[in-house]
């Protein structure tokens, strides 16, 4: 599944999760503080990757790449800024 976010500078990013578990950690329409968003994304993507590893024997490299992209993008903003989770997709 994908989740679409809007960064503090107005730019959009489509993120990939190998599992719907992301819905347990992020909610569409909610703007999270930057650190909270990164932490929630880390947890959700790790849990999704772990589910892939349980089923197929190896973690999801796409989940790791998604988190790396989120972490890199987050580095451009200050601690008090917010990230909006716009919507989920398939």
Q: What is the pLDDT of residues 14-64, one digit of tens each?
A: 999 999 999 999 999 999 999 999 999 999 999 999 999 999 999 999 999
Confidence band of 79 (pLDDT split at 50, 70, 90)? confident
Q: Give residue 40's domain range.
A: 2-89
Sheet containing strand 30-33, strands side by side: 12-16, 2-6, 82-89, 30-33
Query: Does 72 have pLDDT greater than 80?
Result: yes
Query: Does 67 have pLDDT greater than 80?
Result: yes
**pLDDT score recorded for residue 18:** 93
User: What pTM was computed for the model?
Assistant: 0.94
Q: How many domains does the chain have?
A: 1
């Amino acid at each position: 599944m994908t989740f679409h976010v809007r960064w503090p500078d107005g730019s959009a990013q489509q993120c990939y999760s190998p599992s719907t578990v992301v819905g347990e950690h992020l909610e569409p329409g909610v703007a999270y503080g930057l650190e909270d968003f990164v932490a929630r994304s880390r947890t959700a993507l790790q849990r999704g990757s772990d589910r892939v590893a349980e089923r197929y024997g190896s973690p999801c490299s796409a989940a790791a790449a998604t988190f790396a992209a989120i972490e890199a993008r987050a580095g451009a903003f200050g601690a008090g800024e917010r990230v909006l989770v716009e919507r989920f997709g398939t």
